[in-house]
Amino acid sequence: MVGAATNGREGVELAEKLRPDVITMDYEMPVMDGISAVREIMRKHPIPVLMFSSLTYEGARVTLDALEAGAVDFLPKNFEEIARDNSQLQKILIERILDVARSRPGNRSPAPSRAEPSTPASRAPEPAGRPRPEPAPRQRPDTRAPAAPAGSPGETEAPRRHGRRGPAKHYAVVGIGTSTGGPVALQRVLTVLPATFPAPIVLVQHMPASFTPAFAERLNKLCRIEVRQAEDGDVLRPGLALLAPGGKQMMVENRGGQARIRILPGDERLNYKPCVDVTFGSLARSFPGKTLGVILTGMGSDGKEGCRMMKQSGSDIWSQDEKSSVIYGMPMAVAKAGLTDDVLSLDEIGPRLAEGVC
């Protein structure tokens, strides 16, 4: 059934009456704003919601609030931002609505505003000092899929899941890649980490350029570790998470024993800007065998080839499980390719990082 509401309150009532497969929602509505309407819908009868947003700093802030309230994804109000003509716009809207309709509303419970100090994961591990990465020559991004080594798992191999935790392991850097559902997922993971987290973190979230500064600021306010949008030349250090800027590509370059961020223009040949494969590929080259890659909820398969490069260099990969993913696309691609060492629920990932990385 199809319905149209003239205000937020009517939208909540129609959602409960019609029980649609998906809802499109604007923030600016009379009687009840979009965020309040999303909260009511998620409380009464969770239904996937696609928000329409302005691509401004304030629009980013509002959209992030809507995602935290339970919305699945967003599109810009100005359709010229995403399509050249009506036929392309129609295709994009249909694909996005279908993807959102297949999401899991029950997996979008609000993220905690800050990790509770009473949780075991909040205990700060002893600092392990600055990582000492090995020098590696500067290389440009290579997004070609590398050939799998002889005897590597096939594309349909079932993912492995380990019930027991091994000893803590030192990683030179942790890379986390995500897309749809990622803003809330990253918040749930990062708010658990102590200020003394002993490894640098690089974050890749598919997001417009106008959104990443507001998202980094939000995470920094909520987390014990420092979080900010990455800039060209930033030095990686423990307890610092650097978020790839929207519309560009982020690489990690390890020269002379010091790891730095390189920010490059967004390559028009790549679908994603930023792209997880590009960042993870640079981590595989800069820190062979010393990186932990984590793939969270998201549409598509970005990150699979970057994870393959990490595995070929001897590094470890974790992926989010299907049940806790809003969209089980990116983590499924990595797991089906046989690249995952651990398949974890969203609520397991933060504590595992806090307790198992030294």
- CATH number of domain containing 264: 3.40.50.180
Domain annotation covers residue 1: no
Task: Quote the pLDDT of residue 224.
Answer: 97
E-strand stretches of 22-151: 23-26, 49-53, 73-76
Domain annotation covers residue 2: no
- Please state whether the peptide bond connecting residue 274 to the residue before it is cis, i.e. omega within 30 degrees of 0: yes
* HSE, side-chain direction, 13 A CA sphere, residue 246: 17
Q: Do residues 76 and 134 both lie within one domain?
A: no
Q: What does 304-329 look like in DSSP terms, one character per residue?
A: HHHHHHHHHTT-EEEEE-TTT-SSBS
Residues designated as active site: 179, 206, 302
Task: Quote the pLDDT of residue 269.
Answer: 80
Task: Quote the pLDDT of residue 105.
Answer: 61
The range of the structural domain enclosing residue 230 comes to 120-356
Domain annotation covers residue 3: no
Residues of the chain with pLDDT under 50: 108-111, 113-159, 162-164
Number of domains in the chain: 2
The last residue of a domain, from among 107, 134, 152: 107
pTM of the model: 0.81
Q: Do residues 202 and 344 both lie within one domain?
A: yes
Q: Do residues 304 and 242 both lie within one domain?
A: yes
The last residue of a domain, from among 107, 129, 145: 107
Q: Alpha-carbon distance 182 to 244, whole Å?
A: 13
Q: Do residues 67 and 199 both lie within one domain?
A: no
Residues 305, 278: contact at Cβ < 8 Å?
Answer: no
The torsion angle over the Cα atoms of residues 136, 139, 143 and 147, rounded to 10 degrees, is -50
Task: Quote the pLDDT of residue 257.
Answer: 79
Task: Quote the pLDDT of residue 118.
Answer: 33
Tell me which residue has tokens 């009840």.
32
